[in-house]
Structure 1
Amino acid sequence: MKARHDTLVLVPGLNNTRAVFDGVVAALPAGVTARALDNPALDSVEAIARAHLAALPERFWLAGFSFGGYVALAMLELAPERVLGIALLCTAPYADRPEAAQKRLAALDAVAQGRYFEMIAQQAANAFHPDSLGNAALMAARQAMVLDYGPQRYAAHVRATAARPDRSALLDGSRATLVLAASHDRLFAPAMLADCAAAIPGAVLAVVQDAGHLAPMEQPQAVASHLLRWMGAAEQGGADTPMTRS
């Protein structure tokens, strides 16, 4: 596919660097210019959004994964005229409930005690499909990414997550919208994201099979395929099917 506007911006999640998208970027054709970003250690999604917008082209497609979805929505709010379409990958536009925000902030105690890497290692079972846990190369890639990301960014991004507002009103159907779920995601269950997509006019729901929350690492070709379909349907002025699976 060679789109008239061919820049795809990819925003990573919590405990992720741009490396979370390595497989996705490799699966995209040469006609798409992929810009996988690193989120700076700033403690509001709005500040991170402003930093990204200052370095990006005039118009682009925007895909946010998990925490990156919160950043992407802040970017959309700040510069709606620049965003051709938005894809929410294993994420949703809602704010935390007060109790959830407090639970997130409580996790910062582990960071203060120097237990960040231990805590993240223990979360692997919740982050991946069960079959992925035995994939040594995948686990090594995740470990290297977490080491690069580090506790300073984690602490800042947890604070940013807890403080984010509800931005669901931004998803009004005025631009192509993809909501992508993973079949075994324990953090953003497919049923919850199906409800989210149903509330967005014209949104497409895609479900990636055999993946947990870290679908971009586990099933990068499937994620890339859905992103291409989303971009292509919008460029052609058409609509995708209400739900696709891979």
Structure 2
Amino acid sequence: MEPIVFVPGLLCTELLFARQIAAFSDKPILIADHRSDDSLAAIAERLLAAVPGRFALAGLSMGGYVAMEVMRQAPDRVSRLMLLDTSARPDTEAQTANRQRLMDHAAAGRFDRIVPALFPMLVHENRADDAHLRQVVEDMARQTGADAFLRQQRAIIARPDARPGLAAIACPTTIVVGEGDRLTPPALAAEMHQAIRGSRLVEIPDCGHLSTLETPEVATRLMRDWLAG
């Protein structure tokens, strides 16, 4: 049975996919290590070394950046691809500058400022006061830690423009985005969909950037369709 490889986003852990992991507990599952390296290439190489043979690959946000790098390095290893709330574009100057400000906080011992700064942009505006969701995000950040956060941000800042490689993706691909995702909005998902021949695009209503946490039932159903398709 082919395993499912989940790649979490920045500051996220397996908790990002907790409901999906539970739903597919009858299948082999691997959570990619995206905390130990400071380049997408190295993260993808570590992932490929950790899982034998072919696998289904799902990445959210930074996890999507890693997934596209895996597709560049070893496309024949991936049986199907799911890209959630992510973008194929490189960082803009403004995005990099904002990341650097957060990195400065972390490097100066002010890591506790990161989640308060990020959370309002991570979720749909209707969930800005969702205490449970905020607690999950804080728990994931604490498990990640400042050093890994800095490595992740360096990898994200240096990521290449993945758009030129999208047309070469030939495996069944589903692209998911929250309609209220302010970090990687629906237009960026549509751009990937147009470039990946035969891909499926799904926009989830009343959902922000963390679709697997904000709308877990919908995300799980989409994954079930993706695995069966």
Q: Please give the alpha-carbon distance, in whole angstroms, between the structure 1 residues aligned to 2:98 and 2:138.
A: 24
Tell me, yes or no, if the aligned pair for 2:115 and 2:138 is still in contact at 8 Å: no
In the aligned structure 2, how far is the partner of 1:62 from the partner of 1:119? 28
Give, in whole Å, the separation in 2 of the partners of 1:27 and 1:211. 20
The counterpart of 1:107, out of the listed 98, 102, 106, is 102
1:125-164 map, 5 Å? 125-164=120-159
TM-score w.r.t. the length of structure 1 is 0.85
Offset at 1:192? 2.7
Q: Distance in 2 between matches of 1:137 and 1:99?
A: 30
Of 2, 8, 22, the match for 1:12? 8
Q: Which runs of 4+ in 1 moved over 6 A?
A: none
**Which residue identity is paired with 1:145?**
M
**2:41 aligns to what?**
46
1:64 to 59, 71, 74: 59
Please give the per-residue CA displacement for 1:122-146, whole angstroms capped at 9, x wherever unaligned.
3211111233344333222221111
More deviation, 178-187/164-173: 164-173
Query: Structure 1: any 5+ residue segments left out of the alignment?
Result: 234-246
* Identity, % of aligned positions: 32
Given candidates 178, 181, 184, the residue that maps to 2:180 is: 184
RMSD value, Cα: 1.8
Tell me which residue corresponds to 2:85: 90
Shift of 1:98: 4.0
Equivalent of 2:73, from 59, 75, 78? 78
Report how many residues are paired.
Answer: 228
- In 2, the alpha carbon distance for the partners of 1:130 and 1:159 equals 28
Between 179-188 and 162-171, the greater mean CA deviation after superposition: 162-171
> Whose helix proportion is higher, 1 or 2?
2
Give the distance between the partners of 1:169 and 1:177, measured in 2 at CA. Answer: 17
Retained in 2: the 8 A contact 1:25–1:224? no
1:215 matches 2:211 = yes
What is the aligned partner in structure 2 of residue 174 from structure 1?
A: 170
Unaligned residue ranges in structure 2 (runs of 5+): none
